[in-house]
Amino acid sequence: MIEVKDLVKLYGERKVLHGLNFSVGVGRVCGFLGPNGAGKSTTMDILAGLLGPSDGTAKICGFDVVTQTREVKEVVGYLPDNPPLYKEMRVAEFVHFVAKLRGVSAAQRKFAVERVLNDCDVTDVSTRLIGNLSKGYRQRVALCSALVHQPQVLILDEPTEGLDPNQIVHIRELIRKLAKDRTVILSSHILSEVQATCDDVIIINQGQIAAQSSLADVGTGKPSIVFSFADKLETALSWFKEKTFVSKAELFADKPNSLLVNFKDDFYGDARTANLAQVNSQLVQQGFGITSVYEHRTGLESLFFNAIKSQSSFVGGQA
Amino acid sequence: MKAALAIANRDFRGFLGTPVGWIAACILFLVSGLLFTIVTNQLLLRGEAVDPVADIMGSLIGFLNYINIFVVPIFTMRVMSEELAQGTFRLQAGAPISSGEIVAGKFLGIMFYFAVISGLLLIYPLYVAVFAEPDFKVMSAGFAGLVLNIAAIVAIGLFISSLTQNAVISYLGSVFFIILFLFSAYVKGVPEWYQRSVNLLDLGNELSRGILKTSSIAIYVAIVAIFLFLSRLVVETKRWRV
């Protein structure tokens, strides 16, 4: 459980976090999206108790990151963007060492290490030197070190970086599995990854939250329909605007000779396909040359770009 | 304390798992071996009566105390500056352990290593014992002095290396600081207690002649405690900034 209130971070004069507010509940995977330098890693460092906030509070499982740092570190498993690994150590030896540091009792240590090596799929390299491993393996060893003490809250900074597609799927499944009774927050700049793994998404840009949403709400709204025509675009536009079942019709900016049409709520329902077919046949009867018709969903991508665009224009307007 | 021992154990193995530990050991054994041979030969050639403890072991340990000013910071720069630079410090910084435990672990790790090295250096007194009858009490005091000097240099080196991420600056800075520290004894007008306290080489020589005083031990303990405490302060602030 993570609660963040008015979190501010200053690096000297430079303000990198402008008062963040969010919370993530147990059993949720929260995706942290944002362009490079947005403040993702800074926020994660603060949550892991590795960086002091300049103002505001952050609580992990009810423990304050500033005043109860030790308790916070006990419940948090953190995978930073540049994972700390001792290159001269062997994989199992390293994870053992982290388990000791993390206070995993001697009786449970062997089992805990074996389980986490198995979970992250690195058992086959457990006796190899970390320095000799490929990037994907190193990333997974780092993940092992973040998971070995069974943390209640997982903070993962770009967990699938450097992994091949197969491993990405595996790690996603692992994160989903772990998230059942834990709180996970992960950062990424790969939209599809967040879409595949997370329950909630927080888009952060220039140290501010640009958008915050549950992924279930993203992209399930009523789809707009894009109609493309061979000619007579203006006439088609006025034809749509006259219809009572159309809520909005406009020129579609992303595709030439096309209209973006939103229909009223009762258009979408069980009879949606039939309705759409009827509109099409009417258009043909009117002599419009239709070249294509498809549904246009506003997904995470557009949420992301709109959030960042609107915010940068806002910031630009201020300046 | 468990965490401190885990860190110490890891660092100790780290020294043996990388060339650094072996090269440093080679330097110490090469220098001490050469010196031992030269001193013994010279004394024997001169044909005078030789005091195995004062003449041979005394000069050997005295010289090692000098050499350690340059050898020990190789280890302290690794355990702090390099870890800060490579980000592995985050591993300790992010663990639910106190900064004191981190510093203690780092200190003990290097001390374990030098305990082994010093143990191996015992070959010289054993060799001497085959041909003469040295005073083992005096020789033990000399070895204690060697270890105490190393402990003081480790504590100072840890403090200097916790200040920087650059291993080269850390090494040169530590050597420079230790030399300044020793030379500050010769500044005109410093109180006598200070003069005695910072002159680690003289203290080491005193010990190698078998003069074991409580005050000498107290000085070493104080130096180690002060610099470990300072390191702890630096580590505590660094934990909020990495």
Q: Answer yes or no: do A80 and B90 touch at CB < 8 A.
A: yes
- In this prediction, residue A313 carries a pLDDT of 54
> B46-91 pLDDT, tens per residue?
777 667 777 788 888 888 888 999 999 999 998 899 899 988 998 9
A83 contacts on B by Cβ (under 8 Å)? 87
What residues of chain A lie within 8 A of the CB of B88, using their CB?
Answer: 84-86
Q: Which among B3, B17, B239 has CB closest to A101?
A: B3
Q: Which residues of B touch A70 (CB under 8 A)?
A: 96, 98
Q: Is residue A261 part of a domain?
A: yes
With the CA atoms of B218, B219, B221 and B223 taken in that order, what torsion angle do they form, in degrees rounded to the nearest 10? 160
Residues A68 and A182 in one domain: yes
Nearest Cα residue in chain A from B14: A88
- In this structure, the answer to whether residues A202 and A245 fall within a common structural domain is no
Q: Do A190 and A58 belong together in one domain?
A: yes
Count the helices and strands in chain B (H runs, E runs). 12, 0
**Domain enclosing residue A180, as ranges:** 2-214
Domain positions in chain B are: 2-238
Residues A12 and A134 in one domain: yes
pLDDT on residue B43: 79
Same domain, A207 and A236: no
**Residue of chain B with shortest Cα separation from A9:** B241
Q: What is the pLDDT of residue B220?
A: 92
pTM for the complete prediction?
0.82
Token pair in block for residue B233: 């302060």
In tens, the pLDDT along A95-112 reads: 999 999 998 998 999 999
Q: Using alpha carbons only, how large is chain B's radius of gyration in Å?
A: 19
pLDDT score, position A319: 33
Can you say how many angstroms the Cα of residue A83 is from the centroid of all Cα atoms in its chain?
Answer: 20
Interface touch A70/B2, C-beta < 8 Å: no
d(CA A215, CA A299): 9
Contact A210, A54 (CB under 8 A): no
Q: Which two tokens stand for residue A46?
A: 């603060």
- Tokens representing A158? 């770009």
**Chain-chain contact of A50 with B3 (C-beta, under 8 angstroms):** no
C-alpha B155/C-alpha B232 separation (Å) is: 11
Are A74 and A94 in a shared domain?
yes
Nearest CA-CA distance, residue A249 and chain B, Å: 53
- Does B242 sit within 8 Å of A51, measured CB to CB? yes
How does the average pLDDT of chain A come out, rounded? 86
Please state the rounded mean pLDDT for residues B23-46.
Answer: 87
The tokens for A75 are 């419940």
Mean pLDDT of chain B: 88
Distance CA A244, CA A239 (A): 11
Query: Are A202 and A236 in the same domain?
Result: no
The answer to whether the CB atoms of A101 and B239 lie below 8 A apart is no
B4 pLDDT higher than 90: yes
Let me know whether A74 and A188 are in one domain.
yes
Quick check: is A317 in a domain?
no
Q: In the Cβ-directed half-sphere of A21, how many Cα atoms lie within 13 Å?
A: 2
Give the tens place of pLDDT for each residue, B215-241: 888 999 999 999 999 999 999 998 887
Residues of A with Cβ-Cβ distance to B89 under 8 angstroms: 84
CB spacing of A84 vs B89 below 8 angstroms: yes
A310 within some domain: no
Q: List chain A residues with CB under 8 Å of B106.
A: none
A60 and A150 fall within a common domain? yes
The pLDDT, as a whole number, for residue B33 is: 92
Q: Is the ipTM of this complex over 0.95?
A: no
pLDDT at B175: 96
Residues A190 and A75 in one domain: yes
Q: What is the dihedral of CA B142, B147, B151, B157, to 10 degrees?
A: 100
Distance CA B195, CA B181 (A): 10
Chain B residues in contact with A78 (beta carbon < 8 A) = 94
Tell which residue, A154, A191, A201, has the closest CA to residue A176: A154
- Count: domains in chain A: 2
Both ends of chain B: CA-CA distance in Å?
23
Apex CA B79: angle with CA B76 and CA B82, to 5°? 105
DSSP secondary structure code for residue A8 in this structure: E
Q: What is the model's pLDDT at position B197?
A: 83
Taking the C-alpha atoms of residue B96 and residue B129, their distance in angstroms, rounded to an integer, is: 50
Whether residue A319 lies inside any domain: the answer is no
Does any domain span residue A99? Answer: yes
- Closest Cβ–Cβ partner in B14, B94, B98 for A78: B94
Q: How many CB atoms lie within 10 A of CB B72?
A: 25
Render pLDDT for A172-190 as a digit per residue (tens, 0 to 9).
888 888 888 899 999 987 8
Helices (H) and strands (E) in chain A, counts: 10, 14
Residue A319: partners with Cβ closer than 8 Å, 6 or more residues away: none
List the one residue out of B74, B210, B55 whose CA is nearest residue B139: B210
| Residue ending a domain, choose from A158, A190, A214 | A214
A43 shares its domain with A132:
yes
3-class DSSP assignment, residue A30: strand
Neighbours of A123 (CB within 10 A): 13
pLDDT digits over A44-81, tens only?
A: 999 999 988 999 999 999 999 999 999 999 999 999 98
> What was the pLDDT predicted at A307?
75
Q: Which of residues 4-23 of B touch A (CB under 8 A)?
A: 6-7, 10, 13-14, 17-18
Contacts of A145 in chain B (CB under 8 A): 91
Pick from A17-26, A188-197, B184-193: least confident: A188-197
Residue pLDDT, tens place only, A146-181: 999 999 999 999 888 888 888 888 888 888 888 888
Residue A271: give its domain's CATH number.
3.30.70
Do A139 and A161 meet the contact criterion of CB atoms below 8 Å apart? yes
Put simply, the chain B residues between 57 and 96 with a CB less than 8 A from any chain A CB are 86-96
Question: Measured between CB atoms, does B137 come within 8 Å of chain A?
Answer: no
State the nearest Cα–Cα gap between A93 and chain B, in angstroms: 9
**Tokens, residue B95:** 């663990």
Residue A32: is its pLDDT beyond 50? yes
3-state secondary structure at position B132: coil
CATH number at A44 reads 3.40.50.300
From the number of C-beta atoms within 10 Å of its C-beta (0-12, 13-18, 19+), residue A105 rates as: exposed
Q: How far apart are CA B92 and CA B101, in angstroms?
A: 10
Q: Do A189 and A233 have their domain in common?
A: no
- The pLDDT, as a whole number, for residue A316 is 42
Q: What is the reported pLDDT for A188? A: 85
Question: To the nearest whole percent, how much of chain B has pLDDT over 90?
Answer: 44
Q: Dihedrals φ, ψ of A213, to 5°?
A: -160, 160
